[in-house]
Structure formats: structure tokens, C-alpha cells
Amino acid sequence: MSRGTDYQADYDDHDVISTGAKDEAAGVKAVMVSMQRAIEQMGPLRTAAALTRLNQRHGFDCPGCAWPEEHGGRKLAEFCENGAKAVAEEATKRVVTPEFFARHTIAELDAKPEYWLSQQGRLTHPMVLAPGDDHYRPISWDAAYRLIADELNALGSPDEALFYTSGRTSNEAAFLYQLLVRSYGTNNLPDCSNMCHESSGTALIESIGIGKGSVTVEDLTLADVILIAGQNPGTNHPRMLSILEKAKANGAKIIAVNPLPEAGLIRFKDPQKVNGVVGHGVPIADEFVQIRIGGDMALFAGLGRLLLEAEDNAPGTVVDREFIAAHCAGFDEYAAQTRAVDLDVVTDATGIDRAQLQRVADMLIASQRMVVCWAMGLTQQTHAVATIGEATNLLLMRGMIGKPGAGVCPVRGHSNVQGDRTMGIWEKMPEAFLSALDSRFGIVSPRKHGYDTVDAIRAMRDGRAKVFIGMGGNFVSATPDTEVTEAALRSCSLTVQISTKLNRSHLVHGRTALILPTLGRTDRDIIDGRKQQVSVEDSMSMVHLSRGSLHPPSDQLRSEVAIVCQLARTVLGPDHPVPWETFAADYDTVRDAIAAVVPGCTDYNKRVRRPDGFQLPHPPRDSREFPTTTGKANFAVNPLEWVEVPEGRLVLQTLRSHDQYNTTIYGLDDRYRGVKGGRRVVFVNPSDIERLGLRPDDRVDLISEFDGQERRAKDFLVVPYSTPAGNAAAYYPETNPLVPLDHTAKKSNTPVSKAVVIRLERREGGAR
């Protein structure tokens, strides 16, 4: 049976073992692992060429996370273990050639685990899967563009096509891609952000008028309190740890809010420093708040109440009345609701005691400059938008936005996910952007909003969408409700994946399927003898250049810019007013167009060439202006919500191991959590293991329950772990079949990947 219908153990996982969690991140082991992976994949020469240019001023931007580089004196090794792995994955010498596809049928490949697919190497040639065929076969680029154009132009309406983007795409390619899509006639631009920080954008636009973080790296080093909620920086943003260490050296206190004692939050050993090589490293969190899944809104509301009470006891010491009077709306309503918060509800919802709540409140009260950082632990909840609004309230109350050392810091995932959004990858770009686009190019962009990721799946499922094009990413494995999504994609007439590496989305396909191989961040991109460069925006709105320098894996690869331009000309015809050929020949011309259309990008070509690039405007950060509907920063007032654990059930969060990049699996170990040799593990509190009549090392099925429906993921090893009672954790994407498509966050429509109600069913003969 293919893996597609039965998520049986992906590989022989029976050797997976748990050796106990570590409380420290990085250290010399991290350097060793990254070098070993790099040399395995790239060989010694390419390793040296790649790693010495990673995140350097004349090098390329790390294809790992969106954490910014430090300005000024960059270290020679401005990267981390997981950045090195991301580079090794892309710059690998292994290749997936036409011969590879001739050797393997689709069914054979689809039966392979995600890890195996990830390890096969770089795609080298455009390939087509004809209707009914069982092998991908080579196709010329021109024929591939023709095929797509014919399918698109035969649709009843442009809204029957979907154009997905993952967040590695450069600004130039993203700008042209949305221009193609809007010229063609739809706003169907779902992206990975819909599953990621959409809740942050939605909440921040309501509260402060712009959906981006308001701090810089420098602000973090100036802060006296940094609250980090729902984020695992030791694995997912390792370079953040050296900034946290610096902040601590400057006297900052760190509050970590997480159901799990993640290694990087507890201790950090900087491998580039002596005390990181010997010794135990630096303790990171001053206060570890082991919160129940989904309890964060209650935590922030409870803290709000304690802060207001402290203000009552010593008026003028906590609440920044001047800031609120000048810049905010809704404070009185917020204060009234917050004063009424029941602290017993707070301790219940969060699982923390009153003493700790008071300690954290005291740290906030003593703070003059506070930053709140967060990631998926907050965004992938039903009440994510309200939770982030509540965190923002704490900052607004204290006037802690738009001043040095203070503000909001949603820590982005993909290296250019923020830039893609700035460039127009959004199903509901504002009118000002669309009209600027129209007047620059003489086109008429559609105004009707398009589908986001969840709605795109629904549209395919219901036969309202028939062509799927993916600019990067691995749609079928990244999205929720795998069985539904697979059926949705299979019902398409055409699926197209513009990719660097082989993945599941090439194997779960429409009637006809195309793989278009593209250059990655590390590859050199030469057009008519001239070296091209692209640009990206990091999590803190810095825009800078990225120049690949490695020899690409095949001369058949095209850059994303080239693919979009040629596809656009074929789809839109010779008379279309956009100068696609000019854009493809010289990326400077794309940047000139960006400068004309995208707010804050004036003089783009010149400013992006400055040594560290330039920072995009952010009115709250720059001048305490809040471009919201009220023209003021809005206190968010929402009914208090948290996640309850139904009787006999667990609430499961789906998260990343230390050895993966989203759906790309680097290896089978999760070093900091002490897991070796497999991924089908479920972390459970020891008291739950006992309560549920299980034993450590039992094998269980995970069954999710939602709206009277059940979904099952088979054969996981039970690992006792420090997580609040009632809460469990297991890796994504193996658990995506459990995440219901219709279980999404209010307002942002983000799948709730961090609160899946499950029960555990012991497998026959399930004990080891």
C-alpha cells in the first residue's frame, strides 16, 4: 500500500530511542555536526566555498531562517549549525536526473519516506508526467511553458488557478510572480505565511497598523526584559542565541514561556567562544514559565491585571499615561476588562502558580525596555490573533513601542517570507498597492480577494480550482489534513512545482504534472555573461542583496526570475505591456519597478547596494505613528480564551525536530530532546502515561478527534517528557494527517497545528 493512503511508519523506525533531553544548545558538538553534514553533501572544496560566503556582505543570504545578520563587524562564521545544514541541503553534489526518474516509477517514489526524498539531491531537468503515465520524463522548457499556458488559458476563469509561494523566493522573483498572477487575472496567491505568521500580521495590523516586527537586533541588545513565547530558537533561529547572550551580558532578564524546557532557552554554549567550548555555557532564561498549550492569552491577561494593580498602588509608575493619551485608543475598555480577569482562571489555564505569575509581573514592572518575541507556539492556535493582541497590550500599556530597546518581535520562519509579502504575495493586497501596480504597467489587477492556503485546498477539493502552481515549498506535506489535501491535488488537471529538491508534492499530482528545476540561493546566476543578484528582507525589515557563487548542479536550471518571465510571456502573449524580456535580462530593471510600486522602496537599486542594505519604513518604530483604522494604536479587547483538555484526551502540538527544515528532513536525530534514529515519537507527561494505562516505550496510534470526525496517524513511540500534564508533542509533517482542515485560527485562518485534540491507542503487541 502506498504511503499516501496509510501513514504507516515512514521507514523502519523501530530503532528509535530516547536518551533524555539536554538543557544546553550549540557548543562544539554543533560545529562538528554541521561540518560533517556539509562535507557529506558538498565535499570539502564546495564546503569551504559555501560556508565562507554565507551571510557575508558579498555572499549569499542563508536559506535557513529569517533572523537578521549583525551589522558592522561580522564574524567570519556568521552562521549556525542549522544554517550550515540548510546550505548543505541545497548545495549538495547529489543530483536527481532524468535517469533517476527513468529508474523509479511514481508509485515507487511515493512509497518512500520524506527523509529519503530529501536526501536524493538537486533536480536537474524540467520533467513532465503525462496523464496516465507512471514515470516523469524530460521536457523542454519551451514545451513546459506552452503546456502551462494552454491549461491556464483554457480555464473557465482565472480564479480556477492557484499560485502558491514558499518563503525562500527572492524579492525580484516574488514581485514578478504576483505581477504575472494579477496580469493573468486572479489574486489566488496562497503562501506558507498563511500557515505561519499570518496570525501575527493580522493582530499587529489591528493593533499597530503594520504587520511586521518593530525592533532591530540592536533593540534586543538594549532591552532589559525579553519575553520569548512559543519559540524554540536553539533549533529554529540559532543565531538569535548569541544576541540573547549579548543582551544578558548587558543586564537583560529573559522570560521563556513554553510548554517544553527547550535546550536553547535554558542554556547556550556559543561554539565561537572559549566558555562555549569548555564549561557549561551561559544560562539563558531567568524565568522559565512552563505554560499549558494555548494558555498564553490568559498569561498575558493575568499579567495585565497585576500591572494595573501595581499602577493603582503606585500611580504613575507602571502605566505610561502620556503615551496612551497621545497614541492609543481603547485603553479604558481594556483596563476595565483586564481588572476583572479572574486570577484563578489564569492559573488554571496556564498551569503556573500565583507566585510565578507575580515574579514575572514584577520583572515586567521593573522593566524600562521590553521586547516580546514569539513564533509558532502563539500563531498556530485558534485564538492566536487575540493572544498576540494581548501581548501587544502589555507593551502599549507601558509605552514600550517606538523607543530603543522595546517593541514587538514576531520571529519569522522562511528566510524571505517577509519580503515576499512586501512584494505583493498576498491574496488581499491593499488597494494602494494594486493601483500603483496598475498604473506602472498599464494592467488592471483584479480587486476580488483570492484564496489563502486553507481556502485553496477547499477550492481544489470542491472542484473550484483545477491548476496548481507552486513557487517553491512542499504544499502537500506542509498543509493540514493530508488525506483531504492529497485528494484535492489529485483532482487538479495540472500541478506544477518550481523546485530545487525532490519532495512529496512532485508525487501527489494532478492529471498532468511538471517539475521545473530552479537555481537556489547558493547558485551563481549568470545571464548573458552578467552575474545577477537578488535581494531579500529579514525578520527586522532589513533589505539586502544575496549573491550565489557556487556552480549550479546542471546547466538546465533557470532562475526563478527567468522562469516567471518566460512563463508570463507565453501565458499573456506578445502584446502584454509588461517588459518581461527586459526584466529577465537584467534584475536591476526589476528593482527599478519595485522602487516605483512598493512603498518604502524608493532608490531600491542604490540603497540595496549599501554594505548592510537598508531598512524598510515602519511608522510605529520610526515615529510612533500608527496607521490603523483609528489612526492610533488600538488596545485589543477580546473574550479570554484558552485550550481545555477533554477527559481522557491529550492536546498535541506538532513541532520541528533539530534535524529538519520544515518538510525537508536532514536526519533522524533530535539531539537536544534526546531522540535518536527516528521521528515517530510522541512526547507525553509521565503522569499521563500512567493515567492512560500506558508505559514508556509503548507503541501507539494517535487519533485526532474534531467535530465528530477521527483522523489517525499510526505507530508512534511513547517518550516520557517534561511537558505539562494533558499536553503532548510530536513532529511535523508526520502528524499533519491529524490536523483538521477546518480547525483554523479566528481571523487569520491559520491551521491550528499546535492544539490538536488526540487520544492514544496502544497498538497490538505495542510494547517493546
Ligand X SMILES: Nc1nc2c(c(=O)[nH]1)N[C@H]1C(S)=C(S)[C@@H](COP(=O)(O)OP(=O)(O)OC[C@H]3O[C@@H](n4cnc5c(=O)[nH]c(N)nc54)[C@H](O)[C@@H]3O)O[C@H]1N2
CB of 234 vs ligand X, minimal distance in Å = 9
The entry of ligand X, Mo ion, none near residue 753 (CB within 5 to 8 angstroms by kind) is ligand X
> Toward Mo ion, which CB reaches closer, 196 or 550?
196
> Toward ligand X, which CB reaches closer, 403 or 461?
461
The set of residues, in sequence order, having a beta carbon less than 8 Å from that of 76 and lying 6+ positions away, is: 52
236 is a contact residue toward ligand X (CB under 6 A): yes
55 is a contact residue toward ligand X (CB under 6 A): no
258 is a contact residue toward ligand X (CB under 6 A): yes
425 is a contact residue toward ligand X (CB under 6 A): no
CB of 383 vs ligand X, minimal distance in Å = 10
Given the rule CB under 6 A, which of 14-22, 93-101, 375-383, 570-578 is the region that contacts ligand X?
Answer: 375-383
Asked whether the beta carbons of 718 and 767 are under 8 A apart, the reply is no
474 is a contact residue toward ligand X (CB under 6 A): yes
377 is a contact residue toward ligand X (CB under 6 A): yes
* Number of residues in the chain: 768
The entry of ligand X, Mo ion, none near residue 546 (CB within 5 to 8 angstroms by kind) is none
64 is a contact residue toward ligand X (CB under 6 A): yes
Instruction: Tell me the per-residue interface mask from 397 to 426 with Mo ion, x by CB under 5 A, - otherwise.
Output: ----------------x-------------
667 is a contact residue toward ligand X (CB under 6 A): no
> Toward ligand X, which CB reaches closer, 109 or 335?
109
- Cα-Cα-Cα-Cα torsion 413, 417, 419, 422, nearest 10 degrees, comes to -120
653 is a contact residue toward ligand X (CB under 6 A): yes
Give the CA radius of gyration of the chain.
25
The entry of Mo ion, ligand X, none near residue 190 (CB within 5 to 8 angstroms by kind) is none
CB of 192 vs Mo ion, minimal distance in Å = 6
413 is a contact residue toward ligand X (CB under 6 A): yes
Residue 744 C-alpha cell reads as 483554523
The entry of ligand X, Mo ion, none near residue 231 (CB within 5 to 8 angstroms by kind) is ligand X
**Calpha distance 210→214 (Å, rounded):** 9
Site residues for Mo ion, window 547-586 (CB under 5 A)? Answer: none
Nearest alpha carbon to residue 500 among 532, 533, 475, 471: 471
> Toward ligand X, which CB reaches closer, 158 or 377?
377
CB of 656 vs ligand X, minimal distance in Å = 3
Q: 742: burial class by Cβ within 10 Å (0-12, 13-18, 19+)?
A: middle
CB of 340 vs ligand X, minimal distance in Å = 24
Nearest alpha carbon to residue 564 among 476, 475, 472: 472
Please state, as a whole number, how many other Cβ atoms lie within 10 Å of the Cβ of residue 360: 23
Site residues for ligand X, window 263-292 (CB under 6 A)? Answer: 291
257 is a contact residue toward ligand X (CB under 6 A): yes
List the one residue from 499, 522, 570, 634 that touches ligand X (CB under 6 A): 499
Please state, as a whole number, how many other Cβ atoms lie within 10 Å of the Cβ of residue 639: 8
Instruction: Tell me the per-residue interface mask from 361 to 400 with Mo ion, x by CB under 5 A, - otherwise.
Output: ----------------------------------------
Do β-strands 127-129 and 137-138 pair in parallel, antiparallel, or remain unpaired? Answer: antiparallel
Q: 164: burial class by Cβ within 10 Å (0-12, 13-18, 19+)?
A: buried
CB of 200 vs ligand X, minimal distance in Å = 10
CB of 65 vs Mo ion, minimal distance in Å = 9
Q: 629: burial class by Cβ within 10 Å (0-12, 13-18, 19+)?
A: exposed
CB of 420 vs Mo ion, minimal distance in Å = 12
Residue 232 C-alpha cell reads as 524554540
199 is a contact residue toward ligand X (CB under 6 A): no
608 is a contact residue toward Mo ion (CB under 5 A): no
Angle between helices 343-350 and 354-366 in degrees, nearest 10: 100
CB of 157 vs ligand X, minimal distance in Å = 25
Asked whether the beta carbons of 567 and 180 are under 8 A apart, the reply is yes
CB of 669 vs ligand X, minimal distance in Å = 13
> Toward Mo ion, which CB reaches closer, 112 or 412?
412
* Residue for grid cell 527513468: 102
196 is a contact residue toward Mo ion (CB under 5 A): yes
Q: What is the DSSP string of 203-240?
A: HHHHHHSSSS----HHHHHH-SEEEEES--HHHH-THH
Asked whether the beta carbons of 173 and 564 are under 8 A apart, the reply is yes
**Calpha distance 398→320 (Å, rounded):** 5
The DSSP call for residue 130 is -
The entry of ligand X, Mo ion, none near residue 655 (CB within 5 to 8 angstroms by kind) is ligand X
**Calpha distance 271→284 (Å, rounded):** 15
Q: Collapse the DSSP code of 719 into the 3-class scheme (helix H, G, I; strand E, B; otherwise coil) and give the result.
A: strand
534 is a contact residue toward ligand X (CB under 6 A): no
Residue 308 C-alpha cell reads as 494595573
Q: Residue with the closest Cβ to Mo ion?
A: 413
654 is a contact residue toward ligand X (CB under 6 A): yes
C-alpha separations of 553 from 117, 168, 393, 446 in Å: 17, 18, 50, 39
**Calpha distance 525→519 (Å, rounded):** 7
> Toward ligand X, which CB reaches closer, 407 or 726?
726
List the one residue from 591, 656, 671, 714 that touches ligand X (CB under 6 A): 656
List the one residue from 92, 216, 503, 535 that touches ligand X (CB under 6 A): 503
27 is a contact residue toward ligand X (CB under 6 A): no
List the one residue from 245, 451, 732, 760 that touches ligand X (CB under 6 A): 732
Given the rule CB under 6 A, which of 469-477, 576-584, 700-708, 712-720 is the region that contacts ligand X?
Answer: 469-477
Q: What is the DSSP string of 171-191?
A: HHHHHHHHHHHHHHT-----B
The entry of Mo ion, ligand X, none near residue 572 (CB within 5 to 8 angstroms by kind) is none
202 is a contact residue toward ligand X (CB under 6 A): no
* Amino acid letter, residue 468: F
**Calpha distance 108→506 (Å, rounded):** 13
Residues in the interface with ligand X (CB under 6 A) total: 61
List the one residue from 55, 82, 393, 495 that touches ligand X (CB under 6 A): 82
> Toward ligand X, which CB reaches closer, 324 or 652?
652
List the one residue from 330, 754, 758, 760 that touches ligand X (CB under 6 A): 754
Residue 269 C-alpha cell reads as 554554549
> Toward ligand X, which CB reaches closer, 328 or 655?
655
Residue 685 C-alpha cell reads as 507527561
Helical segments of 598-652, H only: 604-607, 619-623
CB of 138 vs ligand X, minimal distance in Å = 18
Q: Which residues pair with 759 in a beta bridge?
A: 703
The set of residues, in sequence order, having a beta carbon less than 8 Å from that of 344 and lying 6+ positions away, is: none
> Toward ligand X, which CB reaches closer, 166 or 628?
166
**Calpha distance 754→230 (Å, rounded):** 10
559 is a contact residue toward ligand X (CB under 6 A): no
Asked whether the beta carbons of 430 and 437 are under 8 A apart, the reply is no
Nearest alpha carbon to residue 176 among 455, 462, 576, 527: 576
125 is a contact residue toward ligand X (CB under 6 A): no
What share of residues in the chain are helix, strand, coil (percent, to 5)?
Answer: 40, 20, 45
**Calpha distance 744→679 (Å, rounded):** 25
433 is a contact residue toward ligand X (CB under 6 A): no
**Calpha distance 655→377 (Å, rounded):** 9
Given the rule CB under 5 A, which of 135-143, 195-203, 563-571, 748-756 is the region that contacts Mo ion?
Answer: 195-203
Interface residues with Mo ion (CB under 5 A) are 196, 413
Positions in the binding site for ligand X (CB under 6 A): 64-65, 82, 166, 168, 192, 195-196, 229-232, 235-237, 257-260, 262, 291, 293-294, 296, 375-377, 380-381, 413-414, 471-475, 478, 498-501, 503, 518, 520-521, 560, 653-656, 660-664, 732, 735-736, 739, 753-754
